Structure 1
């Protein structure tokens, strides 16, 4: 029995890049963490320590920073496409590349009722994400783009049930027709095409649909809510093949105030951080194209 080298790749992880646009007195800011990974003809580096075909991870980092100016950073998807295709098209030993990006949101400080032109505060909402995979060159080149978000914390105080579930001798949970439902949503959506896409409008629209569906769907289970969220996104965006969702159930348990002679009519809860139920689902068109490496290492999603 022989020992061989299996699949491998390497890159530079979590490069923190801040791009400020100063073209007008009203500045714009884009704050990202970008990770690159390359695979290809790197067997000699592993087997005999020969680095001739290896583009240093430091070079990948420098390219990521320079592209923030050269190519621009108005949308993380377009920036990621530029970066990923560069490595495949210009480095002979690279057969495929993957770029994963997180964008951190900032909002303007308001002074005397007016947004300030060059001062921001970090917004504690969701983190926008993107993952771009590029395989091959020329006419056979294949590209996959996954947009997404994580850490979208949602809570509704009513309009959620959980009843009629299976029970066995170990079941203690009581059915309820009125509960708090909360989650920290991770979602990713795979585009069928990467050309002529308004990335900013798509992100804003999809995020709005996810939030709206969470609010308006009378939920019989978190599973049902996730499906309705995904279904609404696919109906609104024909250029999305599938959406994957991961939602921890952030349990809120009614706190027993009876020892103090106090009634608790669904008003005071204990917010438990763990353990938690974790619900994950993929909603897709039945004729969705092959996902290829689109979801490779995309954490938190089924």
Structure 2
């Protein structure tokens, strides 16, 4: 469908995604980067899920959280990467209004769940380091199931109202979206209506998810570091600290990019070009799902050993 601007009297039947305004000449290269991130995210997270599910020695709370994170990362990447590739490579920018709302809901729900899972993983490490004798009685499968259910309900409860409010806008000024996917505020700013409630709700959701989760994660790691440095043996301190390094890298990559993106989008003003905002938003959603399995694969000894063992068996079937 040709990219023709449509005059919208009431809410449109479709939107047209521009991509990244200002750097249209680099779309093929940007699409290549997006494709690489997406393929690596799918392969890496699928490998993690396969290794964890096939190894009974990895059926522990820490690795259960990791498998949930891998599943969420794969879904998060899938919610935006195909649409972005359609825009950058095939110039297919048309997306139906309901499909746009659906993408918006899944995108922000998976983002919320990602933050919550990282919080759950930090709590798991806190119990393992600071309450090791009670770890088995606290971190049970029932507790993990309840925590995941709460995180899912939180995502739906916080993101759902934002989507409903967008769907109830009486009119839009245009259906041209200066973004590479259906991001909440990018759509809200197109509305020919009072958007103060939507803006305030989006800010509250971001604070509730990113702000609160980040605060508790930092508190957990503060307590962990305090407990680690009190251990009498240097080897014990190093071993305990090494078990936390992958979690720290993952949470820093996700929350660091998310916080930076949010602050520049809200308060960067005219000092930062629009294409920088969009590139940061794309990076924050594409890079962590790609990096997470690499970080855990490299820094977690048990996973690294299982992966090498699986690869060895694949190369030499006689080892099975």
Q: Is this a same-fold pair by TM over 0.5? A: no
TM-score relative to the length of structure 1: 0.25
Higher-RCO chain (CA-CA 8 Å, sequence separation at least 6): 2
Larger relative strand fraction: 1
Between structure 1 and structure 2, the one with the greater Rg is: 1
